Structure 1
């Protein structure tokens, strides 16, 4: 009798609003630093707990992005909910410095986007259905986390959007 194998599930891609970045050659701590977070502030927790923290920060009037980091092969990823830092040019430029980064964004308004950055510059940016964009990332990197990884315990931080100073 043959061996029973399970196929990984990628249902997280069907979520309503999220960003995910994939960067080769840097650690998850480096990813957090390049987003502007302090890696030592990260706490390992499952997705459910992380989302509750994001929800609570919005309820308290202090909205913050929920950043969760991990690795698949040579690629570090950052899965983000409750924010849009992962599609900000300053973050993508920092992540891709001396390397490359892929980014996928989807939101409740059906705005889906795919971007490829190299050496701090955008090499490709298109509107693309999130599921197709994740497949594109998988085809190019072989590094897409499954539901168990995204939902399981990962280092997590809450990070506020950077404030822009007003000039008098």
Structure 2
């Protein structure tokens, strides 16, 4: 178990539980690692609603409602796709907030425009608030994925973002 990630998930759980809120996740490049980290926390069923692992483009369309046009125009690894993933996770769950990640963990798949380590993380809230960030992580596949999980959980646990999850 990764103690740093576990502690971040515990902190997230305390914040969500105190506010009576639930989270859903939509993951591509992390393959469910965010949901796994969250559900390692005992009692997480009180604040974790569900997770979607949508690795293929078809699954992003079918499970999250990502528009085919978005994928064709911007690609699976884009701010636009990440935001549609977060919106889809929120609308297809009973959660108050959702986090979505899509990126290129490597070692292959990068391009000059989107090199290995390019990751988009989006957060969407039931009240309409949202945020998206682009990161360029360094390291091997495992390191890039871990940094993505850490950043995603830190972002949702951020106090300013928790305020946005209010009714």
Check whether TM > 0.5.
no
Which is greater in Rg?
1
- Structure with greater helix share of residues: 2
| Structure number with higher relative contact order (C-alpha < 8 Å, ≥ 6 residues apart) | 1
